[in-house]
Structure 1
Amino acid sequence: MAYEIPVTQARAELADLINRVVYGGERVVVTRHGKPLVALVSAADLERLEAQQERREPVVRSVAEVGDVPSSSATGERGRFGIAAEHRPGGHAGPGGHHGPGA
């Protein structure tokens, strides 16, 4: 949990706030009119946050770049992973909404 402090008070106590962040491991949120304005975090915390962001970005980019998958790929994957069921357009589920034996 972060310690919140108004910007006017933070100006007067900046040296103390820096010590609390660096040596006390605290996170300080500076507010203006009760709304978060900036946060003081240790350099180590900042490095961790940036490393997390860097790890996430390539995943988002690669998923966005995938695009459409050819339908022949789905057939190959079905055999590769042993998927036993497939969607058959216009099929009737019957009682209980299930296809196959025991439905």
Structure 2
Amino acid sequence: MAYEIPVTQARAELADLINRVVYGGERVVVTRHGKPLVALVSAADLERLDALDEAEEERMISSVSHTHDATSAPREQQRFGIAAEHRRPDRS
């Protein structure tokens, strides 16, 4: 669990909070009106978070890039005419 501190107190104790994060391995959540505002985490924690974000982004891109051709149902083709037809771009 992270150590929570109000933003007004965090301003006065910033150097101490940085030491707690870097040397104590703590995570500090700065709050305003009792609600989380920001978090102080170590650079190593930030690198892990960035790596997770990148892996998730790659997974999303990979899943979106695997598409298949779909054909319109005859009813939609009749209703919307040529706009409902799927046409591949001319790659000549």
- TM-score, length basis structure 2: 0.71
Shift of residue 37, structure 1, vs aligned partner = 0.5
Distance (whole Å) between structure 1 residues aligned to residue 28 and residue 3 of structure 2: 5
Q: Deviations over 1:55-90 (max 9, x none)?
A: 1211111111212378xxxxxxxxxxxxxxxxxxxx
Please state whether the residue corresponding to 2:53 is helix, strand or coil.
Answer: helix
Q: Tell me the residue number matched to 1:78.
A: none
**Alignment RMSD:** 1.4
* Matched residue type, 1:40: L
Q: Which runs of 5+ in 2 are unaligned?
A: 71-92
The structure with more radius of gyration: 1
Distance (whole Å) between structure 2 residues aligned to residue 69 and residue 56 of structure 1: 25
Distance (whole Å) between structure 1 residues aligned to residue 58 and residue 48 of structure 2: 17
The structure with higher relative contact order (CA 8 Å, sep 6+) is: 2
Q: Tell me the residue number matched to 1:21.
A: 21
Q: Which runs of 5+ in 1 are unaligned?
A: 71-103
Distance (whole Å) between structure 2 residues aligned to residue 59 and residue 69 of structure 1: 21
- TM-score, length basis structure 1: 0.64
Q: Spell out structure 1 runs of 4+ moving beyond 3 A.
A: none
Q: Tell me the residue number matched to 1:38.
A: 38
